[in-house]
Chains A and B, each alone.
Chain A
Amino acid sequence: MKPAFLALSPLTPLLLSCLVGALACGGESHTPAAAAAATAPAPPAASVPAASDATADSTADSTATAAPASPLPEPDLGYNERQGRVLFQHYCATCHGAEGRGDGLNSYSLDPKPRDLSDPTFQAQRSDDDLASIVRIGGGAAGLSTGMPPWGHTLNERQIHNLVLYVRTFKPEPSSDGTDQ
């Protein structure tokens, strides 16, 4: 029994190092970058979590009185809603109002009046696709007022998608944080 196993043993370290090398790069070393990654001075994987745990602990200890807090409040809108807000303020707010309540400066000369987009009933009745479609083809083509122009040739689909996401953030009651520029 001894000879069969031991015959292998001189080769074992070599074999194993090959095995480990293959495993370290996830068993898939056929791209040059992966091979490079296995040998490159990438961050030492094993030691890294320990180090980050240690720093987390030490900061927690040193600031036992007050937990570290970011100097800025959490943002209220995500990336897409923000881009939608910029578009809304540029193209829509003059009629629909900065808060979407249909009371923009240009609304006074319009008949019918622009839609109050913050109305919860309206929000519930329309799907995202409905809203996107009206923005795209305009009121005239949908049998509504030509006061709402079609934006499908001006805005791309992503911009319309972002606009709809932003419109969904409108709330009926006056918000206290309406501090834009």
Chain B
Amino acid sequence: MSDPNGSSDRLWLGFAISSVLLLVVLAVSPVKDYFREYRGFQNGYKSRLLAAAGTSKELAAARAETVRVRQIWIPKLNDHVDRCTTCHLGVENPKMAGAEEPYRYHPLTPHTPGGFAKFGCVSCHRGQGRATTRAEAHGDVADWDSPLLPLRYTEAACGTCHQGDVVPEAALLSRGRALIERAGCPGCHKLERHEGWKSVAPELDGLAQKTHVEWLRGWLKEPRSLRPKTWMPNFHLSDDEVAALAAFLWAQPPRHPIDPSEALPEGDFDRGKTLFRESRCISCHTIDGRGNGSAPELGGIGSAANRAWLMAFLGDPHAFQPATAMPRYDFTRQDLLDLTTYLSEDLVDPSAPAAGEPYRPPLKLVQAGQELYHKYGCAGCHQIAGRNDVAQIGPDLTGIGGKPVARLDFGSRDDLPRTLPDWLAAKVSEPRSFREGLKMPEFGFTPDQVEALVTALLSYDGQTIPEAYRVVGPTGHYQPPGRFGALVRRYRCLSCHQMEGTGGDISTAPLTAEGSKVSGAWLKSYLLKPRAIRPVLTDRMIPLRMPDEEAGFLADFVENVFVDNDIPAEIFPDGAPAEEAERGGRLYYERFGCQSCHQLGGNGGYYGPALDDSPSKLKSGWIAWWLQGPQRWRPDVRCPNFGMDATDARDLAAFLMTYPSAADAVGSASGGQP
């Protein structure tokens, strides 16, 4: 009878029930949201604000806090969005210093406080910034490409924008980037920002005229057994591989042949020893681990290299190793005879392999060695004159710091946490542990070196950063001109010194404005006979034994060309007035305590340069300029900026430029305080 009506009722009923069900199901979402942890955090933060409110204004502000998702949106930074501040509410509130998480005030960094609007949180910490639960934001979320960076590696994120070698206030990152260069990672791996890397490893031609094959085999087997701190890594070669590689290297003809028939008379051992000490080899090399360490250890050199080779090499290092950082000293033949006698007899390593019979490598072994030379990518670091071998045999590491964990090969390392930093740490410290047959050698890095390397590698995350955020390091490519340039190259000045932002860092004093600082006469005498300027340093200027005329030319060039027009040359054209000098003396000893670091008249500290020769060495205008801001000379100068005014600086300059006469007056006036 009412059949159609009845079925229509059932239809309506079904529709109603499904609607209610749908409502219930959909209500799950708001209910779930209502119980989100961030609501609790925000209420907790509000109660902390209320408790800490000291003024009625703060109280009103605390009361006005509402529960809501908070986010930082930065359109200029690749449309960056993160909502970390939904829970981390106190990051910009100094009153929350020392509070428990998630309320804690952010530690001080170059970008905090004050930088959240410009950088957000995820730019530095990575993680899933759009998430509003702890597990999703912090957790190692599967398939999320950018997991939270462990705090110890946070400096890696500085390197996303900061492209320079040295990143200020990111010491670990800077150290890691330097280590990548020093250990020679770019020899095998393509790595962004290191494309300009140049190997400092020696070229390998002519080994047969330098060493004996037993030493070479011992070196290939385990380099650190002969030089514990060498940068040459251990390739864990089998004895057969060692024999083959040694045979191949033995067969490489020298770029600069030595006359083997020349008889070398015995030199004067004692004179050689004195000459060795005077030549300050440890300004670059080490002996038994002591010295600067930028150049190889010399303990045991007498066991590694024969006297004829040492003689020829020290006479002209550039003929054997055109790219070496080592300068060419102007040694006489007698100097070389004496020096090499000392090196061959005193700097020997009794545990090094002894020389055996003369060796003629069989051709088959040479060929096998050549294959190994390619297989292990030796040419990545070591050139052989006349050959053009393929380098960079390792995987391309571009963007390694942002590689998703799913794409990493953990091999047999089941013991590792599945994270990129742990994978990198294990790769760097135990590269062969992932499976059989891997070729990466073992460098013997210490744990803190590994940490620095991982930090640097994580910084190459392949992100494209807008121009406005990019901070590029100094790029110096100064080419010293003409004859000056030829001498600078011969004496390898740029191995230690910097000119116009180019050069090494063994000497901490850049030469760019040296002509505004010192007199040409003093510089010439210093080039001819260098003496300790800062007594505390072991890396000192080396006596290059250059001819008088060359020293004069170099000094003249520096005095006239390396000048900064902002630095006045002479401020006492008629001599420094006695009363200014006397007041300067009191400032020197009593107000600024300069004697804490500087030697003057046989008294004072050993840290700064001795100042006795200021009148003949320094320019008065430079002293006054320096004192009003030493960090303008170089940002990390240790001499503190005293915030000195121009009068004090001028009087101190007067005191130093008239030393010792003004000092006598101060000595009698101040009761002889040194």
Chain A bound to chain B: yes
Would you call B354 an interface residue if the criterion is a C-beta within 8 Å of the partner chain's C-beta atoms? no
Docked Cα-Cα span, A154 to B638, in Å, equals 9
Docked Cα-Cα span, A162 to B107, in Å, equals 10
Give the residue among B152, B596, B636 with the most A Cβ atoms within 10 A: B596
Would you call B29 an interface residue if the criterion is a C-beta within 8 Å of the partner chain's C-beta atoms? yes
Would you call B631 an interface residue if the criterion is a C-beta within 8 Å of the partner chain's C-beta atoms? yes
Question: Given A23-B30, A27-B68 in contact, is the A94-B536 Cβ separation under 8 Å?
Answer: yes
Q: Is the CB of A68 within 8 A of B415?
A: yes
Docked Cα-Cα span, A94 to B534, in Å, equals 13
Q: Which A residues touch B592, using CB under 8 A? A: 140, 146, 149
Q: Which B residues touch A68, using CB under 8 A? A: 414-418, 422
Would you call B474 an interface residue if the criterion is a C-beta within 8 Å of the partner chain's C-beta atoms? no
Would you call B16 an interface residue if the criterion is a C-beta within 8 Å of the partner chain's C-beta atoms? yes
* Segment touching B, from A72-80, A119-127, A168-176: A72-80
Would you call B64 an interface residue if the criterion is a C-beta within 8 Å of the partner chain's C-beta atoms? no
The 8 residue pairs across chains A and B that have the minimum distance between CB atoms? A146-B593, A26-B69, A153-B641, A68-B417, A153-B643, A33-B73, A86-B171, A51-B142
Would you call B135 an interface residue if the criterion is a C-beta within 8 Å of the partner chain's C-beta atoms? yes
Docked Cα-Cα span, A36 to B69, in Å, equals 15
- Please encode chain B, from 15 to 42, with 1 for each CB lying within 8 Å of some chain A CB and 0 for all others: 1100100110010011001000000000
Q: Which A residues touch B109, using CB under 8 A? A: 79-80, 158
Q: Is the CB of B19 within 8 A of A71?
A: no
Would you call B590 an interface residue if the criterion is a C-beta within 8 Å of the partner chain's C-beta atoms? yes
- State the majority secondary structure of interface residues on A: helix
Give which listed residue, A83, A106, A153, A179, contacts B640 with CB less than 8 A.
Answer: A153
Give which listed residue, A6, A25, A152, contacts B69 with CB less than 8 A.
Answer: A25
Docked Cα-Cα span, A49 to B142, in Å, equals 9
Would you call A59 an interface residue if the criterion is a C-beta within 8 Å of the partner chain's C-beta atoms? yes
For chain A, give the interface size range. Answer: 35 or more
- Please encode chain A, from 32 to 68, with 1 for each CB lying within 8 Å of some chain B CB and 0 for all others: 1110110000110100110110110001001100101
Q: Is the CB of B642 within 8 A of A55?
A: no
Q: Which B residues touch A6, using CB under 8 A? A: 12, 15-16
Q: Is the CB of B22 within 8 A of A16?
A: yes
Please name 8 further chain A to chain B contacts, defined as beta carbons within 8 Å, in addition to the given A85-B171, A94-B536, A94-B638, sorted by A numbering: A6-B16, A16-B26, A33-B73, A43-B128, A63-B415, A108-B606, A147-B593, A179-B448
Q: Is the CB of B422 within 8 A of A83?
A: no
Give which listed residue, B131, B451, B596, B597, contacts A72 with CB less than 8 A.
Answer: B451
- Please encode chain A, from 116 to 155, with 1 for each CB lying within 8 Å of some chain B CB and 0 for all others: 0000000000000000000000111000011111111110
Question: Given A69-B415, A109-B606, A153-B643 in contact, is the A140-B591 Cβ separation under 8 Å?
Answer: yes
Docked Cα-Cα span, A73 to B19, in Å, equals 58
Give which listed residue, A24, A63, A72, A151, contacts B450 with CB less than 8 A.
Answer: A72
10 pairs of residues in contact across A and B, judged by CB atoms under 8 Å: A26-B132, A31-B73, A49-B136, A55-B140, A80-B109, A82-B172, A95-B596, A106-B605, A110-B605, A161-B108
Q: Which B residues touch A139, using CB under 8 A? A: 593
Nearest CB in chain A to that of B73: its residue = A33
Q: Which B residues touch A79, using CB under 8 A? A: 107, 109, 151, 154-155
Would you call B71 an interface residue if the criterion is a C-beta within 8 Å of the partner chain's C-beta atoms? yes
Q: Is the CB of B23 within 8 A of A12?
A: yes
Q: Which A residues touch B640, using CB under 8 A? A: 91, 138, 149-151, 153-154
Return A47 CB to nearest CB of chain B, in Å.
9
Q: Is the CB of B447 within 8 A of A73?
A: yes
Q: Which A residues touch B638, using CB under 8 A? A: 90-91, 94
Q: Which B residues touch A24, using CB under 8 A? A: 29
Return A43 CB to nearest CB of chain B, in Å.
6
Docked Cα-Cα span, A95 to B606, in Å, equals 10
- Please encode chain A, from 9 to 31, with 1 for each CB lying within 8 Å of some chain B CB and 0 for all others: 10011001001100111111001
Docked Cα-Cα span, A140 to B590, in Å, equals 9
Q: Is the CB of B135 within 8 A of A52?
A: yes
Return B248 CB to nearest CB of chain A, in Å.
35
Q: Which A residues touch B596, using CB under 8 A? A: 95, 106, 109-110, 146-147, 149
Docked Cα-Cα span, A33 to B539, in Å, equals 56
Q: Is the CB of B128 within 8 A of A70?
A: no
Q: Which B residues touch A33, using CB under 8 A? A: 71, 73, 75, 79, 81
Docked Cα-Cα span, A147 to B592, in Å, equals 8
Nearest CB in chain A to that of B427: its residue = A71
- Please encode chain B, from 422 to 457, with 1 for each CB lying within 8 Å of some chain A CB and 0 for all others: 100110011000000000000000111011001000
Return A167 CB to nearest CB of chain B, in Å.
16
Return B554 CB to nearest CB of chain A, in Å.
31
